[in-house]
Amino acid sequence: MVTLRPSPADAPDAHELLAEYFRARTEGFALMDVSYRTSFPDPAAFVPPAGVFVVLDDDEGVAQGCGGIRLIPPGALGTRYELKHLYLRPGTRGRGWGRLLVEDLERRARGFGAAELVLDTHHSLEAAGALYARTGFTPIDPYNDNPNATRWYGKTL
């Protein structure tokens, strides 16, 4: 059974997962002849109620995935949080753990009073796009200027 636990974004296991995530994105973008800008998150952005960072542990207590939400400027619907750095180690994918992470972070955003949850991603991350569609996210207009993003999604909470 997996567990989801809040964690500082700069805790050793969270940092290791983020480093793997950024390394995979950098390598994947290089194959497309596109550069990827790596930027470790400011841990303060993921401290409640400004946000939260979550680590997913497998049944042996090994950190296998992560993700976070952070408060961003309000949108047309009001209080808005952004889903960031959703990552699962490749060997764990296909088990439904991505959905568990998204649903947990969505629940936490609601608890902080969010009216909307938004995210950005790159079109090459097809599995991520499919996960977001399965969990109720729909395409929206860009809300930021993230150079790594080509698609933006939102969900009314």
pLDDT tens by residue, 40-92:
889 999 999 999 999 999 999 999 999 999 999 999 999 999 999 999 999 99
Among the listed residues 124, 62, 72, the one whose alpha carbon sits nearest the alpha carbon of residue 97: 62
Backbone angles phi, psi at 87, to 5 degrees: -150, 135
Here the tokens at position 125 are 């991350």
Q: Is the peptide bond before 49 cis (omega within 30 degrees of 0)?
A: yes
Burial class (CB in 10 A: 0-12, 13-18, 19+), 131: buried
CA 130 to CA 68: how far, in whole Å? Answer: 19
Residue where the block lists tokens 């395409």 = 139
Domain 3-156 in CATH 3.40.630.30? The answer is yes
CA 25 to CA 38: how far, in whole Å? Answer: 9
Average pLDDT over residues 122-150: 91
Q: What is the pLDDT of residue 40?
A: 80
Contact (CB, 8 A) for 84 and 143: no
What pTM did the predictor assign?
0.91
